[in-house]
Amino acid sequence: MLPAAIFSVAMVAYPVIRTVWLSVHNGNLARPRQMNDFVGLQHYQRLLGDGNFWHALLVMVIYAAAVTAIAYGIGLAAALLLERRSAFTRISRTLLTLPWAVPGVVAGFVYVWMFDASFGVTNFLMRRLGLIDQPVLWLLKSTPAFVVVILAAIWKTVPFNMLTHLAGLQAVPEELREAARVDGATSWQEFRHIVWPALGNVRVVSILITTLHSFREFGQIYVLTGGGPARATETLSVQIYTESFGYFRFGYASAIGIVLLIASLIFTVATVRTQKTSFF
Amino acid sequence: MRPIRSFVVTVGLSLMLTLSASAIAQEQITLRFPSWQWGQPGYDEFFTAAIAEFEAAHPGVRIEKIPVASADYADSLTRMFAAGDPPEILQYLSQLYYLAVEADWLEELDDRLATTDIQATWAPYLWDAGNQYGHTFGIWVSGSPIALMYNRDMFEEAGVAVPTNKEEFLEAARALTVRDPDGTVTQFGFALTTKMDNNANIYGLKNFVIGLGGNWGTPAGEIDVMNPANREAIELEKALIDENLVPHGADRVQARKIFWEGHAAMIIEGPWVMTSVRSENPSLLPSIGVALMPFPHQTAGTSNGFAIARDAKHKDLAWEFLNMITSQEWMERYGELAGVTPARQGALTAAALGNGPWLQVFADVESTGLNYFIPGFEAAQNEIDKGVIDALAEVFYGAKPVDSALAEIQALMERLRE
């Protein structure tokens, strides 16, 4: 037990403690003589008045909500469609799981090229299909760039949701579903009254992990848009990176990180409390 | 007893292996050399040759090449410094240099430089750029003279003269942009960096701003955002973008590639583009002409330089390497291989000019070119560039008024001054 405990403390607790420490000290690498000065809650006070912070928080919330809702929906639908075992469903499940195996940064680069305004395949196909006359400036305008960032995240996240629900569906008592069908229930009624409630805990886990992942997503967003254009896709994670490595303000970045951590904890507690101990 | 004996044997073997590896490592000294120029034509050949000669003269010393993408270079070095493990051979980009000085990362080189002829022989503006707070912290090995490179064949085919002012430049870009019947651009009039994500991609606008006589601050360090020349530069870029005369969303690498692949008629960049053309598309080289930027002013800043980190290991060896590559012999080879104007005056050889006659234009630019850095704001350049690109993204690709963007940049500069 002791080695495991030491490992947990070293790998988890120390970075958090260090970040809290940095958040109450100057932490500006470009001011080495003041870097370790204690500043109390100065960074947190600055956060409250920083429009860029609130904007990044809003972007993060919208991004997480959109990715979670859509990836969850598609993942659930895919799980229901591919529930029955056959050669087709086995192949389909494998193909749908592949995005999960692709590193986020690699996926980001692929999407950058797919949605390139001048040479991207998306504009090429849309023009060929007559859907557009002029190329769409996907990553150069705020709204389209945000859509692409969300799309790329959904593509990466659907496999996780599909797999968790496939596992959850295995745990739904088959006799209940058969009994419902024998009693004349439609597929929709079977889903609504048996399957959906039975997947309650899987749903909680799925939403929780997808949302937390969205909160901390950095690599894919940074490769796609760098948080631009005009901060349209700058989440708190991207802002933390910019403040740290762009401006050397590690203290302020740490304060943002602590706020993100607290937000994640609150969300986790609130979500876990909705878990039930039984199906119904 | 058996588990304990197994444990002891395992630990003992591990210790022996670790100590052996450590002993082997101690016999050889490794100097780490991260650079964004590994793999770049000309630069790679120069530094590879320098490393070979240095290693031959220093048995037991090895220089390790560490390629880093240019957009990630500043971040990578920051991580190394923050971890207390800076590289031994420290090459820096302009923005990072000033931050590194502020962060007290760099060793003062005054005593070491006093034993050389560098101060007496260096291009004055590059020597001065390495001096802060009365000390020299860095040696710039080349500047960043900027010029207009153009495809002569495209100009002749279109019947367009090489532009000499802003109006002619815009007209030339219009005349040289070729479209398919369905409106797809197959030849851009101008290869401009238009990606709005990263402060490194503000490069194109910077050249317009300086060329037209603007900047966000004056050489005396006063804020000057409302200078009419800044608005003029922004409006020039907006016209190029609105009329689809430039590739949309291109970063610096893509813009250069579009030019050297023969898909753009003009580009405003440094001499390294010619080296890239020679390497990537040599058949295009005879068609490329070089002229001054078609603006009242020219720009020539710092490009890349070297320093020694305070906390680096093997500083003396690092200095020996720097001393070697900044010598007359190696600066001449730098000009010949990398195809740039070396910082050491008189090191631009006839052979270099023979290989690249365009270098004379760049050398001329260096004597009059203006720097983009604003005195007193150098260390904040990253934040200024990011703020500028964030403020202007929706001007170039939206309906945001220029006045609104200028007001944001003004507010940023005032906050940074505080």
Integer Cα distance of B14 and B167 in angstroms: 72
pLDDT single digits (tens) B275-327: 999 999 999 999 999 999 999 999 998 888 999 999 999 999 999 999 999 99
Where does residue A262 rank: exposed (0-12), middle (13-18), buried (19+ CB within 10 A)? exposed
pLDDT single digits (tens) B357-408: 999 999 999 888 888 888 889 888 888 999 999 999 999 999 999 999 999 9
- Mean pLDDT throughout A5-34? 88
Whether residue A140 and residue B249 make contact (CB cut-off 8 A), yes or no, is yes
* Angle, helices A142-170/A104-114, rounded to nearest 10 degrees: 130
Whether residue A228 and residue B196 make contact (CB cut-off 8 A), yes or no, is yes
One-letter amino acid at B412 equals L
CA angle B215, B221, B225 (to 5 degrees): 35
What pTM did the predictor assign?
Answer: 0.86
Q: Which residues of A touch B386 (CB under 8 A)?
A: 242, 246
pLDDT single digits (tens) B173-213: 999 999 998 888 999 999 999 998 877 778 899 999 999 99
pLDDT single digits (tens) B134-178: 999 999 999 999 999 999 999 999 999 999 999 999 999 999 999
User: What SS3 class is residue B90?
Assistant: strand
Whether residue B248 and residue A141 make contact (CB cut-off 8 A), yes or no, is no
**Does the pLDDT value for residue A4 go beyond 90?**
no
Pick from A247, A145, A267, A163: nearest CA to A206: A163
Side-chain-facing half-sphere of B175: CA atoms under 13 Å: 16
| ipTM at complex level | 0.83
Least confident of A235-239, A244-248, B71-75, B81-85: B71-75
pLDDT single digits (tens) A221-241: 999 999 989 999 999 999 999
Closest partner residue to A30 (CB to CB) among B99, B195, B199 is B99
Average pLDDT for chain B: 91
pLDDT single digits (tens) A140-171: 999 999 999 999 999 999 999 999 999 999 88
Integer Cα distance of B384 and B199 in angstroms: 8
User: What SS3 class is residue A231?
Assistant: coil
Q: Please indicate if any CB of chain B lies within 8 Å of the CB of A173.
A: no
CA distance B339 to chain A (A): 31
Residue A279 confidence (pLDDT): 55
Q: Please indicate if any CB of chain A lies within 8 Å of the CB of B394.
A: yes
Residue A171 confidence (pLDDT): 86
Residue B21 confidence (pLDDT): 55
Whether residue B248 and residue A127 make contact (CB cut-off 8 A), yes or no, is no
What are the C-alpha distances in Å from B164 to residues A13, B169, B191, B212, B362?
63, 7, 18, 12, 16
Q: Are the CB atoms for A220 and A153 separated by under 8 Å?
A: yes
C-alpha torsion B231→B233→B236→B242, nearest 10: -70
**Does the pLDDT value for residue B26 go beyond 60?**
no
Q: Which residues of A touch B99 (CB under 8 A)?
A: 30, 248
Integer Cα distance of A59 and A103 in angstroms: 23
Whether residue B198 and residue A226 make contact (CB cut-off 8 A), yes or no, is yes
The residue among A26, A143, A245 with the most chain B CBs within 10 A of its CB, best to mutate, is: A245
Residue A280 confidence (pLDDT): 53
Whether residue B197 and residue A230 make contact (CB cut-off 8 A), yes or no, is no
Integer Cα distance of B347 and B356 in angstroms: 14
Q: Please indicate if any CB of chain B lies within 8 Å of the CB of A226.
A: yes
**Does the pLDDT value for residue B265 go beyond 70?**
yes
Residue A7: how many other CB atoms lie within 10 Å: 10
Q: Are the CB atoms for B399 and B393 separated by under 8 Å?
A: no
Q: Please indicate if any CB of chain A lies within 8 Å of the CB of B408.
A: no
Find the residue in B nearest to A29 (Cα).
B103
- Residue identified by tokens 């889903």 is A191
Q: Judged by CB atoms within 8 Å, which residues 364-383 of B form the interface with A?
A: 379-380, 382-383
Q: Which residues of A touch B391 (CB under 8 A)?
A: 230
Pick from B207, B270, B273, B214: nearest CA to B240: B207
**Which of A261-265, B80-84, B337-341 tops mean pLDDT?**
A261-265
